[in-house]
Structure 1
């Protein structure tokens, strides 16, 4: 079997250590992928500092990482949709409690991927571009399509579903989506277009009209992705403006998707004053990632304060909400619907765009730690990627 190396979290709060890792053969409905590129999400640089608090099931040393793209080198029993040599992207789920296996982490040379979280990519697409998609797609899909959230009808490719006549409110349509992807307004402008590539495109492909918010310089971009109207989330009248356009044009809400600091409260306000579904899929806490505490007491205090405020606001307005946990796609048919059925066709037909553009900030496993630092600072219209 091939030799393998990984970027390990050996000690909480310490830099990654690149060293040997066991090459793990695939089980039923799994493949092994030789990674050519991995992407960096906020959760990737946050978790090594808070492993014991957010992933208590994980025992160090461990391999994290969510987004990867590469070539299939081995297939497990029952796999008939993928073969050795296929170029793929995949969502790695090592730290989810239903996996809890270092072999399923992206930050290594050979990753075990589940076939329902793996998509073929076309020859024209680079591995670096493909690697920006998996986690953002999962987060968007869970909030939009799972019954516990908005429960929208599924998208189709290459042509979208027939229009439903309903409107989805996507607050923060140009922001990055991921676990606990909480962004302040400054960071929203730097770490942008990830959701624009996912939530807006998926909602439009499912047959829904989209009203979104973003900084003015991203308005045209979001319209090109399919948003009907885009508003400046920094405007003091943005909530009233969206409510007015919904009511004046007799639009029916299919619910809202909240991304970014303050987004949940804004979405609750909008849905409480408009007709239609009164539920918000919540992708963010009201704690900017750069200010995320590392002590349990501080986390409990900050998150607890936000929770009480949200609970009261939701109760008083009659609007429900629930936080999106991306790896839910591994436990139901949504993973297969997105990664095996929809995405390969949509990518091949170019009806789904792999955005934002990748910015290579390191090479080799040794470059992941350096890429963390670049990602923390934020980039404009890019997603940080490491080429392997």
Structure 2
């Protein structure tokens, strides 16, 4: 292992001893992980709170067995490289990065002072992108880009409906579609209609007070080319009715047991190709690098974010589980919780 000055042997982390939900999260002293071949050790600055985190804590993710306990949640984050494992040459100690953690590989997540990642899963951050802003990108941005461009094969000029447009994944999806030159409809609650308009959504839909099917039919009489569902759980009663014959339906994988799924026969009758999308380690680095570059260059904007201390991890996870979070909740380690980030510690909704 190569690295900077000697690192502490222990760290503070938010961890859990069993898959019983957010209430099991508590502060613990754990050993600082040591990077192995091909890995990097990151000093955490900020991490995203994602739906996958509460699902992990609830035991819904089969790739997280009991042997991983005590479990430090957290699938993504930003921070500074402090040590490198054997064979890593693409990163340097002291470099600022955004990354996906190695939690699914049994190496722990990002809700601690330090985290391990595969070096290939880390993308350097330009100086004009803050840790908190960059922490809004990895899991939701990668998922959105994979769903739209790879699984959904969205093309310039096509019409896409983003269900769940004010959440982290939906907001990145809107901007990815906009940059591609697609025509965009998106659903959100009444408090977020202004947010959709600010991002250039052509057909914003207030799903609480408007008939979604009627609004889509007015905008796209033959149906949309692609429906991206970031919510799932039966939030759209009849998605096939909104999609043109031969169109596509892509749903972000929720991993929820007993989830109500769309009617496969309805899709087949209209020739609609249906896919469930999730990011992979193979495709993630290219997606993340593209999104970091677009954001640093001002072509895309980080979604509204709320920063909380990492000690508030359990409460943050519970809020994400309840849904209706505008933009993204970010956990910031205490030494990075400066006056600048503290100014955002309020509910923007």
TM-score over 0.5 for the pair: yes
Aligned to 1:38: 47
Aligned to 1:348: 296
Structure with the bigger percentage of helix? 1
CA contact (8 A) 2:166 2:327 kept: no
Give the Å deviation of 1:384. 2.6
Distance 1:171 1:201 in 2: 14
Residue 359 in structure 1 maps to residue 333 in structure 2: no
Give the Å deviation of 1:35. 0.2
Residue 145 in structure 1 maps to residue 149 in structure 2: yes
> Judging changes above 3 Å, is the alpha-carbon distance between structure 1 residues 317 and 134 closer, same or farther for their aligned structure 2 residues?
same
Gapped runs of 5+ residues in structure 2?
1-5, 334-349
Q: Structure 2 residue aligned with 1:132, among 109, 133, 136?
A: 136
Aligned to 2:241: 269
> Judging changes above 3 Å, is the alpha-carbon distance between structure 1 residues 168 and 80 closer, same or farther for their aligned structure 2 residues?
farther
Aligned to 1:384: 329
Q: Cα RMSD (Å) of the superposition?
A: 3.0
1:1-388 pair list within 5 angstroms: 2=7, 3-5=9-11, 6-13=13-20, 15-17=24-26, 18-28=28-38, 30-50=39-59, 54-55=62-63, 57=65, 59=67, 60-76=69-85, 79-95=88-104, 99=105, 101-103=106-108, 105-146=109-150, 149-152=151-154, 164-177=156-169, 195-196=170-171, 198-235=172-209, 237-247=211-221, 253-260=224-231, 261-271=233-243, 274=244, 277-283=246-252, 299=257, 302-303=258-259, 306-307=260-261, 310-326=263-279, 328=280, 330-331=281-282, 334-340=283-289, 342-360=290-308, 362-363=309-310, 366-376=311-321, 381-388=326-333
CA contact (8 A) 1:4 1:109 kept: no
CA contact (8 A) 2:250 2:276 kept: yes
TM score, norm. by length of structure 1: 0.72
Deviations 1:163-198 (A, max 9, x none): x22222212211344xxxxxxxxxxxxxxxxx21x1
TM score, norm. by length of structure 2: 0.79
CA contact (8 A) 2:46 2:135 kept: yes
Q: Does the residue aligned with 1:84 lie in a helix, a strand or coil?
A: coil
> Judging changes above 3 Å, is the alpha-carbon distance between structure 1 residues 38 and 203 closer, same or farther for their aligned structure 2 residues?
same
> Judging changes above 3 Å, is the alpha-carbon distance between structure 1 residues 208 and 79 closer, same or farther for their aligned structure 2 residues?
farther
Distance 1:316 1:345 in 2: 41
> Judging changes above 3 Å, is the alpha-carbon distance between structure 1 residues 133 and 336 closer, same or farther for their aligned structure 2 residues?
closer
Structure with the bigger percentage of strand? 2
Distance 1:370 1:246 in 2: 40
Distance 1:376 1:336 in 2: 27
Distance 2:238 2:307 in 1: 32
